[in-house]
Amino acid sequence: METNEMMSYDIVIVGGGPAGLAAAIAARKSGTERILILERDKELGGILNQCIHNGFGLHTFKEELTGPEYADRFIQQVYEMGIEYRLDTMVMDISADKVVTAMNRSDGMFRIRAGAVILAMGCRERPRGALNIPGYRPAGIYSAGTAQRLVNIEGYMPGREVVILGSGDIGLIMARRMTLEGATVKVVAELMPYSGGLKRNIVQCLDDFDIPLKLSHTVVDIEGKDRVKAVTIARVGKDMKPIPGTEERYTCDTLLLSTGLIPENELSAGCGVEMNPVTKGPFVNEIMETNIPGVFACGNVLHVHDLVDYVSEEAGKAGEAAARYVQSGCTEASRERAPIRLTATGGVRYTVPSTIHTDRMDDLLTVRFRVGAVYRQAYVSVYFDDERVQHQKKKIMAPGEMEQIILQKKKLLEKPDLHTITIKIEEDDASDAIKSSSDGKAISSANETSGAADGAAHRQTM
């Protein structure tokens, strides 16, 4: 039913949040003119618009901004550069040959031929349906991000007496936000033996307001047929199953869920992008390119970030690479040397990127990763094939905080036969890491160091 002639742009960016905006600006600065951002919301800025708390931009702007202010810095550049964007526009499909099908109310359905595509769709919250919480399905159960939107954008209070399941940053931020608006946050229950949020958010969102954080706890019952009346939580054992007899009942009218973010990759998968089962995002190389030449990914659609600054940085790289791709017609790396594989093992869950073509890499390449457990006084080690080349001690590493190592191009070029770079966590024999699999006691002690259990012990951000 194609009525319009197909439009054509050098770069089409799917998503007008922090990643899409930074990618667009970088691509324009790299000399590509015809760029189009497609955004499904009614304004640019993405999730930052509802993240009204401060703490954004310390790396990028050397000052502490709120989410809307951080977004505005990028939005103003997009305006000044005259980069085109369409709001209220939903991308329906991206084909393997980079034809983007989208629709909105004014234009109907339309197709765009893209020289390059940048995937910047972000992520979404894990919903209740994915959690297997028993009990009824009354009103009053919200994902933390939904509650954040209601309070900060729409101006509604979702409830007065609140229990929060999950200690992801949005949950911690909302514990403080609801408290400031007059609600009582009775408890934050976290299934894992460590918080999923940033340490500073534990301090300034929970400790500051004497909100208890119960690690290794989960919700075992929700009471109320029309509206939530009470929530029962219980301690979980090593097997993550509730321990009978440890139940505690909290009367409340609201349950917020901050139980993880999942990259939104239906479009990516639809066009044949290879996905990493760990991050639920695409595999990318050193220029943020997926397995499909000319299709790039950045931001939370690639892997969920704690810090928007890193999103902007990564997205900038994707934007520059996409510009180079459309200007040269390809990103063909040298055929003389196969890409180097990055392997995550020994406590490292994944790496971004996952392959490196040395001829295309910058002098310094930041490799980001997450660990799978809480480690204290352990080492981040980098191996070039079997040779250990980096061994850096870290006071504490936790799954809630993204880690990074830096690779030097010249070091890689010194090893023309280098096949695999392995990143792993190594521990001294003396200091045992406290793993997520060990018992609850050991785990909460690990969190004391991270500030989680400091009396009544956040992570701000995305």
Give the interface with other proteins as residue ranges (CB under 8 A). 49, 52-55, 58, 64-66, 68-69, 72, 151-155, 180-181, 198-200, 202-204, 208, 306-307, 395-396, 401, 449-451, 454, 458-461
Taking the least distance from each CB to other proteins, the nearer of 11 and 398 is 398
Q: Which is nearer to other proteins, 324 or 459 (CB)?
A: 459
Question: Cβ neighbours of residue 245 under 8 Å, at least 6 residues apart?
Answer: none
**Choice between 69 and 359, CB closer to other proteins:** 69
CB of 126 to other proteins, least distance (A): 22
84 or 181: whose CB is closer to other proteins? 181
Closest C-alpha to 252, from 189, 341, 322: 189
Edge-to-edge strand ranges of the sheet holding 254-257: 141-143, 254-257, 161-165, 184-190, 213-215
How far apart are CB 40 and other proteins at their closest, in Å?
18
Point out which residues pair with 7 in neighbouring strands: 112
Give 253 or 309: the residue with its C-beta nearer to other proteins. 309
DSSP code for 6 = P
Distance CA 95, CA 245 (A): 54
The strand ranges marked E within 3-159 are 7-14, 35-38, 54-56, 65-66, 84-86, 90-94, 99-104, 108-119, 123-125, 141-143
Q: What dihedral angle (degrees, nearest 10) is formed by the CA atoms of 429, 434, 436, 440?
A: 140
How far lies 31's CA from each of 34, 128, 272, in Å?
A: 10, 45, 28
How buried is residue 154: exposed, middle or buried, by Cβ count under 10 Å (0-12/13-18/19+)?
exposed
To other proteins, the closest distance from the beta carbon of 431 in angstroms equals 16
**In sequence order, what are the residues at sequence separation of 6 or more whose Cβ sits closer than 8 angstroms to the Cβ of residue 28?**
35, 81, 83, 319, 323
Closest separation in Å from C-beta 383 to other proteins: 26
CA dihedral angle for residue 8, residue 10, residue 12, residue 17, rounded to 10 degrees: -140
**Least separation, in Å, of the C-beta of 74 and other proteins?**
13
Amino acid at 211: I
Contacts of 439 (CB under 8 A, 6+ apart): 237, 238
CB of 379 to other proteins, least distance (A): 18
* Residue 82 dihedral angles phi and psi, to the nearest 5°: 65, 30
Distance of closest approach, residue 35 Cβ to other proteins, in angstroms: 23
CA-based radius of gyration for the chain: 23
- Phi-psi category of 46—alpha, beta or left, where left has phi over 0 and alpha has psi -120 to 50? left
User: What's the rounded Cα separation, in Å, for the pair 301 and 336?
Assistant: 32
- Minimal distance, residue 359 CB to other proteins, in Å: 34
For residue 157, the minimal CB distance to other proteins (Å) is 11
- Could you tell me the smallest distance in angstroms from the CB atom of residue 197 to other proteins? 10
Q: How far is the CB of 175 from other proteins (least distance, A)?
A: 14
Of 140 and 197, which has the nearer Cβ to other proteins?
197
Q: What beta strand segments (E) does 45-98 contain? A: 54-56, 65-66, 84-86, 90-94
Output 53 or 357, the one with its CB closest to other proteins: 53
Among candidate residues 302, 260, 322, 310, the one with its CA nearest the CA of residue 98: 322
Residue among 51 and 133 whose Cβ is closer to other proteins: 51
Residue closer to other proteins (CB basis): 331 or 460: 460
CB 36 within 8 A of CB 61: no
For other proteins, which is the closer residue by CB, 206 or 423? 206
Tokens of 244: 């009978």
Nearer to other proteins, 65 or 367 (CB): 65
